[in-house]
């Protein structure tokens, strides 16, 4: 079934001029870019997006990190794109993410409280629809 997923190019990736290289990985895999926006998100937007993590130790560092500069929000479409995009991204921790994945190729541990891992991708159909409504209201 054709799905949509929300991809965020996080502030660390935008700062390092990796936006094009990251979006290209989803495009060259064959997924269709259907929405794209560059922005500096409000705290309200970030709190809505990360509501499931409220109260966790990394929550405040995460919101601070995500507010630290511009991000790029994108919607990609295709068959099983949610799972496919997460495969392309690799595991959350860039130190153990395999080479060939975005996080494995471009990421590392910078010794900070939050994992600066370059990219976000929705983890289910329900999350994707919820997140797309937040970022592309």
Question: Catalytic residue numbers?
Answer: 120
| x/- map, 17-56, ligand RTP, by CB under 6 A | ----------------------------------------
CB 89 within 8 A of CB 18: no
CB 3 within 8 A of CB 81: yes
CB 81 within 8 A of CB 125: no
Nearer to ligand RTP, 105 or 123 (CB): 123
Q: Using CB under 6 A, which of 62, 71, 73, 81 touches ligand RTP?
A: 62
| Closest residue to ligand RTP in the complex (CB) | 92
* Binding to ligand RTP in span 64-123, by CB under 6 A: 92, 114-115, 117, 120-121, 123
């Amino acid at each position: 079934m054709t799905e949509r997923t929300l991809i965020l190019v996080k502030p660390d990736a935008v700062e390092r001029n990796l936006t094009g290289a990251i979006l290209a990985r989803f495009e060259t895999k064959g997924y269709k870019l259907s929405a794209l926006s560059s922005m500096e998100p409000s705290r309200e937007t970030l709190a809505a997006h990360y509501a499931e993590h409220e109260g966790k130790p990394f929550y405040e560092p995460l919101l601070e990190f995500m507010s630290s500069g511009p991000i790029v929000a994108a919607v990609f479409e295709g068959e099983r794109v949610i799972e496919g995009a997460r495969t392309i991204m690799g595991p959350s921790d860039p130190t153990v993410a395999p080479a060939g994945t975005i996080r494995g190729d471009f990421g590392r541990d910078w010794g900070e409280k939050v994992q600066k891992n370059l990219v976000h991708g929705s983890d289910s159909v329900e999350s994707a629809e919820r997140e797309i409504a937040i970022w592309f209201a």
